[in-house]
């Protein structure tokens, strides 16, 4: 298969999978696109929104559209790490000898839905860390690989909701993208009512295998990025740091910690997926602009003043991108801007 054909296949598969999800999920086109982007980029996605907006349904539908194993963990305050990872249990064999046997937890699945992840204690939340980063878990001194592709889709309620624990920054950083699920528009709400209150059920077809997902992940990494686009990505990430010399005033004033290098990786990888999904063979500045907020919003830690002022991180990221573009063209003369 030629490269063009592979790219066309990716574009078609992307569209097909999105169409399957959209059979169930009304609206939220950006959220669906970004969830697929996260999956093809090989990262994990965190969805944030108030209960009832269809976060869990979206992920379940996606899992139904893929020929992959799926498990769901409902996070509760009394959930223990072993409930996620698994544990060694004593079993008795035919000879009557007892020995430990590893009982796999729900993390051993291709697609893991960590529902309401911030309702569990930080200790339990952290049980996912190794699996998300290394695609393996260690129990009893034995490291056990997770099946590939491994893809965590977590949902969380806004921190302001009662009975929630904020996710540790280290774990937040493991998520490639953080998506905000917002209320649907009235037309979308009408469509939701029509779809969900009628007798006939919608059937989601399995349109993509795990092997194909893995192949697409490799293809995505081949997408070239020009030096000036890469520089722009670096500038955007650096501009989230209050101590950087060219950081905008808002960053200096409201940000305590900026994005890590993992943020830059996430930004570029997600941009590559977006470019390829549009049938383009290169990353553009527009891709970075579109994905800056999902890739960076959970990596920017506001300081006290920023929290007190109620600064919206998305707006902040928008200003950061603008300032990064200004930095990029600062050295150019007026004719080349």
Binding site for another protein (CB under 8 A): 2-4, 7, 222-229, 280-286, 332, 334-336
Q: Which is nearer to another protein, 4 or 15 (CB)?
A: 4
Q: What residues form DSSP beta bridges with 86?
A: 104
Q: How far apart are CA 81 and CA 107, in angstroms?
A: 11
How many angstroms from the chain centroid is the CA of residue 66? 17
In the complex, the smallest distance separating the C-beta of residue 219 from another protein, rounded to whole angstroms, is 8
Report strand pairing: 142-145 vs 136-139.
antiparallel
In the complex, the smallest distance separating the C-beta of residue 327 from another protein, rounded to whole angstroms, is 15
**Among 168, 92, 89, residue whose Cα is nearest residue 125:** 168
Please calculate the CA angle 288-65-114 and round it to the nearest 5 degrees: 70
Q: What distance separates the 2 farthest-apart alpha carbons in the chain?
A: 85
Q: Which is nearer to another protein, 71 or 282 (CB)?
A: 282
Q: Which is nearer to another protein, 218 or 309 (CB)?
A: 218
Rg of the chain over CA atoms, in angstroms?
A: 21
**Cβ of 285: how many Cβ atoms within 10 Å?**
18
Q: Which is nearer to another protein, 31 or 288 (CB)?
A: 288
* Burial class, 125, CB count within 10 angstroms (exposed 0-12 / middle 13-18 / buried 19+): buried
How many angstroms from the chain centroid is the CA of residue 322? 24
**Cβ of 202: how many Cβ atoms within 10 Å?**
11
Could you tell me the two tokens for 149? 């592709």
Could you tell me the two tokens for 176? 């490639």
In the complex, the smallest distance separating the C-beta of residue 328 from another protein, rounded to whole angstroms, is 10
Q: Which is nearer to another protein, 66 or 223 (CB)?
A: 223
In the complex, the smallest distance separating the C-beta of residue 231 from another protein, rounded to whole angstroms, is 11
How many angstroms from the chain centroid is the CA of residue 224? 22
Could you tell me the two tokens for 34? 């970004």
Q: Which is nearer to another protein, 20 or 287 (CB)?
A: 287
In the complex, the smallest distance separating the C-beta of residue 227 from another protein, rounded to whole angstroms, is 6
In the complex, the smallest distance separating the C-beta of residue 8 from another protein, rounded to whole angstroms, is 10
**Among 243, 153, 212, 287, residue whose Cα is nearest residue 12:** 212
Q: Which is nearer to another protein, 145 or 279 (CB)?
A: 279
Q: Which is nearer to another protein, 194 or 222 (CB)?
A: 222
User: Tokens 């520089």 sit at which residue?
Assistant: 231
Q: Which is nearer to another protein, 222 or 312 (CB)?
A: 222
Q: How far apart are CA 115 and CA 248, in angstroms?
A: 36
Q: How far apart are CA 14 and CA 190, in angstroms?
A: 27
In the complex, the smallest distance separating the C-beta of residue 297 from another protein, rounded to whole angstroms, is 24
In the complex, the smallest distance separating the C-beta of residue 224 from another protein, rounded to whole angstroms, is 5
User: Tokens 């300081």 sit at which residue?
Assistant: 303
In the complex, the smallest distance separating the C-beta of residue 7 from another protein, rounded to whole angstroms, is 7
């Amino acid at each position: 298969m030629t490269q063009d054909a592979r790219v066309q296949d990716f574009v078609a598969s992307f569209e097909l999978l999105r169409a399957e999800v959209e059979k169930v999920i009304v609206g939220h086109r950006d959220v669906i696109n970004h969830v697929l982007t996260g999956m093809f980029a090989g990262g994990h996605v965190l969805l944030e929104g108030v209960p009832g907006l269809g976060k869990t349904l979206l992920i379940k539908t996606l899992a139904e559209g893929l020929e992959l194993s799926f498990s769901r963990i409902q996070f509760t305050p009394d959930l223990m790490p072993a409930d996620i990872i698994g544990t060694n249990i004593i079993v008795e064999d035919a000879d009557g000898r007892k020995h430990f046997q590893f009982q796999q937890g729900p993390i051993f699945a291709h697609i893991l839905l960590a529902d309401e992840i911030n309702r569990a204690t930080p200790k339990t939340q952290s049980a996912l860390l190794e699996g998300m980063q290394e695609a393996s878990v260690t129990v009893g001194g034995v490291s056990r690989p997770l099946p590939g592709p491994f893809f965590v889709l977590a949902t969380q309620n806004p921190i302001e909701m009662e009975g929630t624990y904020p996710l540790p920054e280290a774990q937040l950083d493991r998520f490639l993208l953080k998506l905000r699920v917002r209320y649907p528009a009235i037309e979308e709400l009408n469509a939701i009512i029509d779809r969900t209150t009628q007798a006939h059920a919608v059937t989601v077809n399995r349109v993509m295998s795990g092997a194909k997902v893995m192949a697409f992940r490799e293809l995505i990494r081949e997408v070239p990025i020009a030096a000036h686009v890469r520089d722009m990505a670096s500038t955007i990430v650096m501009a989230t740091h209050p101590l950087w010399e060219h950081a905008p005033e808002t960053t200096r004033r409201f940000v305590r910690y900026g994005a890590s290098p993992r943020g830059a990786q996430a930004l570029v990888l997600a941009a590559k997926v977006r470019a390829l999904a549009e049938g383009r063979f290169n990353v553009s500045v527009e891709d970075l602009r579109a994905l800056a907020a999902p890739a960076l919003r959970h990596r920017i830690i506001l300081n006290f003043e920023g929290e007190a002022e109620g600064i919206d991180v998305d707006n902040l990221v928008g200003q950061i991108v603008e300032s990064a573009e200004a930095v990029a063209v600062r050295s150019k003369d007026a004719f080349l801007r």
